[in-house]
Structure 1
Amino acid sequence: MARQPGCHLIKEDVMKMVKISIAALLALALTGCGNDSAPSAHGTLVSISASGEATRVPDVAGLSAGVVTEAEDGDAAMKTNAEQMEKVIKAIRKAGIEEKDIQTSGISLTPRYEYPPNTAGSPNRPGRTLVGYIARNTVNLKVREIGKLGDVLNALTEAGANQIHGPSLEIGEPEPVLAEARQQALDKAQARAKTYAEALGMKVRRLVSVSESGSAGIPRPMMRAEMASADARAPVAPGETTLSVNLDLVFELED
């Protein structure tokens, strides 16, 4: 098919127009980048790290409770364990713990062996004899009313829980406490920046940047509940929990 003579010229003109348009766009982009640069600090910069703390009486307690059973047969160990654990779960619910605060954390079945005398230190430990199986079932639960913690502990033991760990005490709504700690850290940093400025014959112009490096709960003390008997209410001492916040700030000073 013969090429029309006008087509080649039209294509060349179009390509030239495209090149010119691209060059114009690049020029505009470079011009915009130069005018849109972020304002930089012109004064003296001072970096300050400050921490703040806020303390509250914890209002939530975490517990781990479970049942350990043993039998010569693995099926029997698991069956007995399941029956006993069902009683524990019912006792937890009866104590007013919501379903969302009850979570199974582990179920296991392990063999138990006996070894001949004087072989405990042997690396191979020959001659072992299988004597039974140990079944374990554990749940984690949260008690959102500290005043009921002693009653919950007693209910667990009465229902047959033979392993209880905790409690770990925490603040149920930590954000208001953390906000107080942040404000304390910010006040400290501003006071230090003012001190630096006055010592240099300057004043604080503005806060350039602020970052939070983290926060942590510091329980004090970690309480352990002890039960004298199944019908004795376990003593509970919640103590206090401290939340801390660390801030890194940069201030700009000016004459």
Structure 2
Amino acid sequence: MRLALSSSRLVLATLLAGAVTAAAGQASAQEFRPRDPVISISGEGEASIAPDMAVLTLSVVRNGQTAEAALSANSAAMKEVLTAIKADGVADRDIQTSNFSIYPQYRHSEPKNGVVDPPEVVGYEVANTLTLKVRDLDKLGALIDRSVKLGVNQGGQIVFTNDDPEEAMTEARKAAVAKALAKARTLTEAAGVKLGRVLEISENAARPMPQPMMRMAMAKDMAAEAVPVAAGENTYTVTVNVTFALEQ
């Protein structure tokens, strides 16, 4: 009876050892299995369209001996500018205060006998900046000119953009994929292999970087005629990364 029990245990141990060995062999085979051949290609596409909107910054800066005096002068000028801007057809939703600041102005005295007196506050400067979306580009130059005459004395940065660039982005995507596919076909034909199905595709889209058309200190004695502006084109760029299978 004891002999039979020992024999059974020996058989079971042998079977377990064989199973472990087989599992290890399968894991090893999977670990060292050759990777399916693939090719990864990138393609870049562009599409250019004329802008239909301009983002404009205009600032009113006023100085005064007191903060209250500087603020009062600034507010009076800004009210006139806002009234003019709205009269030129810019909607409330397209007008935003993007910066407001009050800074003391100091006078620094020369050192006397090695002693430096603390700076003295001699006045205050108040700056109020508007960011506008101008959707009628034909009015842009006249709007700048009128704003300057009413009190805008800093700013003038213009960025031309598009309210809805999705159609241009779609064209750029199509061009990017076409370039990636053409590149992959050229490489596989040269290597003597066959291009298979698409395994993975991703994109990186780049909107045009804001390019300031002009930025300058403004004066009330600017030319009477509207400021000349040139909108040009905006270029939208899409890069796609495509991974194809290779058929042997």
Q: TM-score range by the shorter chain?
A: 0.7 to 0.9
The aligned residue for residue 43 of structure 2 is 50
The aligned residue for residue 148 of structure 1 is 139
SS in 2 for 1:217: coil
Answer yes or no: is the 8 Å Cα contact 2:110–2:116 preserved in 1. Answer: no
Give the one of 224, 243, 247 matched to 2:236: 243
What is the Cα deviation at residue 214 of structure 1?
3.0
Q: Determine the C-alpha separation between the residues in 2 that align with 1:133 and 1:143.
A: 32
Q: Deviations over 1:152-209 (max 9, x none)?
A: 1112112211112310111222111111111111000111111122223333221111
Q: Determine the C-alpha separation between the residues in 2 that align with 1:218 and 1:68.
A: 28
| Percentage of matched positions with identical amino acids | 36
**Distance 1:248-1:101 versus aligned 2 partners, 3 A rule:** same
Q: Determine the C-alpha separation between the residues in 2 that align with 1:125 and 1:244.
A: 57
Residues 1:178 and 2:174 are matched in the alignment:
no
The aligned amino acid for 2:134 is: V
- 1:81-230 to structure 2, matched below 5 A, reads 81-117=74-110, 126-218=117-209, 222-224=212-214, 229-230=222-223
Answer yes or no: is the 8 Å Cα contact 2:45–2:174 preserved in 1. Answer: yes
Instruction: Give structure 2 stretches of 5+ with no counterpart.
Output: 1-34
So what's the TM-score if we normalise by structure 2? 0.77
What is the Cα deviation at residue 125 of structure 1?
5.8
Answer yes or no: is the 8 Å Cα contact 1:95–1:155 preserved in 2. Answer: no
So what's the TM-score if we normalise by structure 1? 0.75
**Distance 1:125-1:138 versus aligned 2 partners, 3 A rule:** farther
**Distance 1:125-1:49 versus aligned 2 partners, 3 A rule:** farther
The aligned residue for residue 26 of structure 2 is none
- Tell me the matched-pair count: 210
Q: Determine the C-alpha separation between the residues in 2 that align with 1:216 and 1:125.
A: 52
CA RMSD of aligned residues (A): 2.4
Residues 1:71 and 2:64 are matched in the alignment:
yes
Instruction: Give structure 1 stretches of 5+ with no counterpart.
Output: 1-41
**Distance 1:103-1:218 versus aligned 2 partners, 3 A rule:** closer
What is the Cα deviation at residue 224 of structure 1?
2.1
Answer yes or no: is the 8 Å Cα contact 1:112–1:133 preserved in 2. Answer: yes
**Distance 1:222-1:75 versus aligned 2 partners, 3 A rule:** closer
Q: Determine the C-alpha separation between the residues in 1 that align with 2:142 and 2:197.
A: 55
Q: Determine the C-alpha separation between the residues in 2 that align with 1:161 and 1:180.
A: 40
Q: Deviations over 1:45-72 (max 9, x none)?
A: 1000111111122221111112111111
